[in-house]
């Protein structure tokens, strides 16, 4: 049972997340042979206040 974790900054719409999930599941099906029923996708949304890049805080 493949489990895919996606971490991204919060702010995407429900439709965007649903589209992402469909594409991820399709890629897992294609490249592993797993059925879509066996694939779990977990989206962790990170608050913009908790992001820093290149040593700079962006909150």
Cα separation, 34 vs 6, in Å, equals 18
Q: Is 2 one of the catalytic residues?
A: yes
Residue in 2, 12, 21, 34 annotated catalytic: 2
Asked whether the CA dihedral 13, 27, 51, 43 is positive or negative, the reply is positive
| Token representation of residue 44 | 């962790």
Which residues are tagged catalytic?
A: 2
């Amino acid at each position: 049972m493949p489990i895919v974790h996606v971490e991204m900054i919060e702010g995407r719409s429900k439709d965007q997340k649903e589209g992402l999930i469909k594409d991820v599941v399709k890629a897992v099906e294609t490249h592993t042979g797993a059925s879509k029923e066996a694939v779990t996708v977990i989206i962790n949304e990170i608050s913009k206040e908790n992001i820093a890049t290149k040593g700079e805080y962006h909150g």
